[in-house]
């Protein structure tokens, strides 16, 4: 049980860092758009483009979360430990499959 927690700690830390950077970047873009007092159509198009991008990002992170979660379940089911390099290989392969699946789903939707 503690082996899986040791694997999850860096993953959760990276996700939290990524979310914080994303929130700050979005806030900066919105602030610049409002500070420059751009045309309303330009501001609307920028925000709508950001909305589409956020939908794609949510899809990607959802698929990646599910695929890495499945990898962790598979690792626990097989009985691999933290010291076994196959564990990280399984997680990396599933993350790669998740990235490919999210790209495919993004094109289909």
pLDDT at 84: 86
DSSP string, 27-53: HHHHHHHHHTT--HHHHHHHHHHHHHH
Which residues, other chains included, contact 22 with Cβ-Cβ below 8 Å and sequence gap of 6+? 57
The burial of 1, by beta-carbon neighbours within 10 Å (0-12 exposed, 13-18 middle, 19 or more buried), is given as exposed
Determine contact, residues 94/70, Cβ cutoff 8 Å.
Answer: yes
Mean pLDDT calculated for residue range 25-32: 73
Domain ranges of the chain: 2-108
Mean pLDDT calculated for residue range 93-98: 90
Model's pTM, two decimal places?
0.58
pLDDT at 70: 92
3-state class (DSSP) for residue 1: coil
Mean pLDDT calculated for residue range 76-104: 88
Q: How confident is the model at residue 27 (pLDDT cuts 50, 70, 90)?
A: confident
**Model confidence over 67-82: pLDDT tens digits?**
989 998 999 899 888 8
């Amino acid at each position: 049980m503690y082996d899986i927690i040791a694997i999850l700690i860096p993953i959760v830390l990276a996700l939290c860092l990524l979310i914080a950077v994303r929130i700050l970047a979005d806030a900066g873009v919105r602030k610049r758009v409002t500070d420059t007092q751009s045309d309303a159509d330009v501001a609307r198009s920028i925000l709508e483009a950001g909305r589409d991008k956020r939908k794609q990002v949510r899809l990607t992170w959802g698929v990646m979360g599910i695929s890495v979660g499945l990898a962790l379940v598979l690792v626990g089911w097989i009985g691999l430990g933290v010291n076994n390099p196959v564990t990280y290989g399984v997680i990396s392969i599933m993350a790669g499959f998740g990235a490919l699946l999210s790209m495919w789903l993004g094109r289909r939707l």
